[in-house]
Amino acid sequence: MTTTLNQSVSDVQNVTGSIDIASVSKSYGDTEVLSNVNLNIPAGNFLTLLGPSGCGKTTLLRLIAGFIEPSKGKIAIDGRDMNGVPTQKRPIGMVFQNLALFPHFSVAENVAYGLKLRKTPAAEMQQRVDRFIDLVGLSGMGDRRIAQLSGGQKQRVALARSLVLEPSILLLDEPLSALDMQLRKQLQIALKDIQQKLKTTFVFVTHDQEEATMISDTVVVMSNGHVQQVGAPQDIYASPETLFVSKFIGELNEIPARVTDTGPHLSIDTAAGQFTLPASAARGFAPRTGDAAVICLRPEQLKVLPTGANVAGQTMLDARVVSRLVIGPLTRVSLRVGETDMIAVMMTDADTAPLPSGSACKVSFNPDHARLFAPLSDDMASAFGEHA
């Protein structure tokens, strides 16, 4: 098993599989589902297209697959322009959301299908089919019919069927969305593992931010047909460039605010009180006096302190404890700050005074951690209807 795996790795250890997407737009009639997308995907990357449903991520995947052609712009694979190249001539594999296994073929016949089309000699075909059935953990199941398989096993067949052709790029369209939590976790790890072994470029579509941050090298956050931000998962979490991205990745506290003065420091007025933030807190817009804005803070950036406390350099706000929830080493405190509900997460053994529910307290944060964004436009806000 190990030797066959090494063989398959050496077969494909090369630098093919880079994708260049240049100014790509896609419209259906008057509706633009993708607008001016620019994206360079390096070979061997595990890249996730993340966004709410309708953000254009599946459309982008289908453009790379060649099922549809861009209205504007150009997609190149390994430097070769793909406009007009039919799907079957592109160096890609694809795993579909509904898996699209051939119900009239056995497991082995499904895996062998692409090899048969390439007129692979029988002996080599048999060997490669066996090797990839082993690779995805289905040894000995080659003769099973598709209807006899469980959901997780079907996933693995779909993966083997694409990977056996050793494509330089594998496209995955929410392949795990139909599975239960535990199986999903298992397959996420299996996918990551296989990707690292084969060094294939994976382009993975999902609307699940946890899944995206867990398995990818690069995350592309999309909304309304636009790329919002591209980066490593931890960078996107730590320094989101828009309010949309902040909301979509990880948990977030938002305080509606108004800018009362600009300069080296921004004076901010909120229902919880007035304070100043460094000018660098503003992201993606230049705040002017009178502008509405949203202050964003991660739950772990908040500290809950007794009412009398005062810490130099920290912004202190009056708050009230709504409830406390101890989850092993972490404590989640629900707070009411001014007119806003907020969540603070801290270590359970922190030496903060035990604050009972309903008691008054102070919430503090480092003003350098706060980020100030322009409020979401209505169409963006609607995207959170199903994911908030």
Q: Which residues are near another protein by CB under 8 A? A: 65, 67, 86-88, 92-94, 96-98, 100-104, 106, 113-114, 117-118, 145, 147, 161-162, 165
Rounded to a whole number of angstroms, the minimum distance from the CB of residue 157 to another protein is: 12
Q: Which is nearer to another protein, 145 or 387 (CB)?
A: 145
Rounded to a whole number of angstroms, the minimum distance from the CB of residue 90 to another protein is: 8
Residue 151's contacts (CB-CB under 8 Å, 6 or more residues apart) are 178, 179, 183
Rounded to a whole number of angstroms, the minimum distance from the CB of residue 216 to another protein is: 22
Rounded to a whole number of angstroms, the minimum distance from the CB of residue 235 to another protein is: 32
Residue 73's contacts (CB-CB under 8 Å, 6 or more residues apart) are 21, 22, 23, 24, 25, 36, 37
Helix (H, G, I), strand (E, B) or coil at 311: coil
Cα–Cα nearest to 177, from 153, 203, 151: 151
Rounded to a whole number of angstroms, the minimum distance from the CB of residue 375 to another protein is: 39
Q: Which is nearer to another protein, 162 or 364 (CB)?
A: 162
Structure tokens at 317: 């706000």
Q: Which is nearer to another protein, 162 or 224 (CB)?
A: 162
Structure tokens at 336: 């009411």
Rounded to a whole number of angstroms, the minimum distance from the CB of residue 113 to another protein is: 6
How many C-beta atoms surround the C-beta of residue 294 within 10 A? Answer: 18
Q: Which is nearer to another protein, 70 or 287 (CB)?
A: 70
Q: What whole-number distance in Å separates Cα of residue 232 and Cα of residue 235?
A: 5
Give one DSSP letter per residue of 90-157, joined into a string. Answer: SSEEEE-TT----TTSBHHHHHHHHHHHTT--HHHHHHHHHHHHHHTT-TT-TT-BGGGS-HHHHHHH
Q: Which is nearer to another protein, 117 or 360 (CB)?
A: 117
Q: Which is nearer to another protein, 128 or 303 (CB)?
A: 128
Rounded to a whole number of angstroms, the minimum distance from the CB of residue 139 to another protein is: 22
Q: Which is nearer to another protein, 97 or 334 (CB)?
A: 97
Per-residue DSSP letter, 14: S
Q: What whole-number distance in Å separates Cα of residue 168 and Cα of residue 82?
A: 14
Structure tokens at 257: 């605010």
